Structure 1
Amino acid sequence: MEGVLQMPGWILIWFYSTAAICTWDASFIVFRPHSLPGGRLAYIWYLYKHYVTVDQRYADLKDDFVFAQSLLNYVEVVLNIIAIIMHYRKSRHTVPLAFTVTVMTFWKTVLYFLMYLVSDTYRKNNTMVEHIFLFVIPNGFWIVVPFLVMIKLWGCLLPRGEDEVRGLANTRKRKTKAS
């Protein structure tokens, strides 16, 4: 299929990275308490020993919101993998799916970020340095990059160029005459 718009390389790398990181992150939540510091699987999530002290929701086994958010991470991973496969198959549905899953990533992260900010229940005793470097920057990255991906893919969702626009206009005229 010549001329099918596909994802730029940096977005493809983002999708590969997102699939790996979201799987790792969601699995940390799913495998609690074994993934928590001191658990038999804690070595896999070694860096989380610092993160759970700042975002204490990750250490709370009774927090249903973080568990549900992690299940959404798995859905996101599956859709990322499908978008990657569609990219290589040059499917015309690649960009719409990539855009959709990126919107999901963006708003899921915005919601999580806001839940953290509006309630001090899960961030007690954090220093400003911990707050900024272990929560705001990493989570902010998951807001900024998807936003940039959405901007880039938005331009690919609609036809560009005079010929494509004329082609759409002619198609609409034919449909109107046929009605």
Structure 2
Amino acid sequence: MVSTRHHPTDFPPPPKTPSPSPVHTNNNNNKWVHTPSTAITLWLVLSVPLVLWDAAYVLLRPHSMPGHSLHSPLWTPYALYGTIDYIYGWPAFNARNGFTAAQTVLNLVESAGYVYYLAVVYCHGTSLTANGRGGGQRRPRKGVRWFLQETKVVAGRRGAGALLVAYSASVMTVGKTVLYWLNEVFSGFENIGHNDLWTLVFFWIIPNGLWIVFPGYNVYLLGAEIVAALEDSAPRQRGGRSKSS
């Protein structure tokens, strides 16, 4: 008699593949965070009031100009600067040159973005402190020293939004300042060509160049953070969901 082999009918189930954990969780330690740069924060704290002061002078002309009621003492330095850069002086105003006021309106848009960024960092920033081997977070005791010196993060969508706003405003600042320079180049230096070299360097090139150097550094630093975040993120499907969700 030929017997058939007996096979067990119940096989052990295959091992379950663990499902991947999401990249972002509700845990603050695992959520994406933006780390504000001390250099960027300090620059914005110093530059925004100067831009607002400059904007007030431009938009209040002629009352803020020499010989008028609002000029002294708040805008006294423009009595000199208006003779160095005519775009801020009487020649451009009498010619009804609209470039000065137009770039000032854009200055206010940029400043609004910077103020929003600083407010988010101050109100929602969380200090970092060592906590064993890993990092931990603690409730900050906020103030000027904390705001300008201490390492802090802004987590999640709020931090991402503030980062995007600061990056966009910095791009605007660089582009507008370069346009300001190119306006002089292509007009034959109509507003500044009357100055000697040293006056031009110390009263026009260096002061205006600061609004290219520092915002340009902002663009580089914030842009690198955006690129790094995009490299680590999952692609998004139509409808706003990522493939990992």
Aligned partner letter, 1:57: I
Which of 136, 140, 149 is 2:209 aligned to?
Answer: 140
For 1:46 and 1:175, locate their aligned partners in 2 and report how far apart those are by CA, in whole Å: 56
For 2:235 and 2:172, locate their aligned partners in 1 and report how far apart those are by CA, in whole Å: 34
1:111 aligns with 2:179: yes
Contact 1:6 1:95 in 2 (8 A): no
1:49 aligns with 2:79: yes
Q: In proportion to residue count, which structure has more strand? A: 2
1:154 aligns with 2:223: yes
User: 1:31-60, CA deviations, whole angstroms, 9 ceiling, x for partnerless residues?
Assistant: 111211222222212222221111101112
Unaligned runs of 5+ in 2: 1-27, 125-153
Higher mean displacement: 86-95 or 48-57: 86-95
Contact 2:171 2:219 in 1 (8 A): yes
Q: In proportion to residue count, which structure has more helix? A: 1
User: 1:127-164, CA deviations, whole angstroms, 9 ceiling, x for partnerless residues?
Assistant: 1111111111111111111111111111211336xxx8
Unaligned runs of 5+ in 1: none
Higher mean displacement: 129-138 or 1-10: 1-10
2:113 alignment partner in structure 1 = 79
Contact 2:55 2:107 in 1 (8 A): yes
Contact 1:6 1:94 in 2 (8 A): no
Aligned partner letter, 2:48: A
SS of the equivalent of 1:109 reads helix
1:97 alignment partner in structure 2 = 165
2:33 alignment partner in structure 1 = 4
Residue 6 (structure 1) shift: 3.0
Of the two structures, which has the highest relative contact order with CA contacts closer than 8 Å and spacing of 6 or more? Answer: 1
For 1:141 and 1:26, locate their aligned partners in 2 and report how far apart those are by CA, in whole Å: 17
Residue 177 (structure 1) shift: 9.4
TM-score (norm 1): 0.85
Aligned residue-pair number: 172
For 1:100 and 1:130, locate their aligned partners in 2 and report how far apart those are by CA, in whole Å: 33
Larger Rg: 2
**CA distance 1:175–1:74, change in 2 (3 Å):** closer
**CA distance 1:177–1:126, change in 2 (3 Å):** closer
Which of 98, 104, 119 is 1:70 aligned to?
Answer: 104
Which of 16, 26, 41 is 2:45 aligned to?
Answer: 16
User: How large is the Cα RMSD of the aligned pairs?
Assistant: 2.4
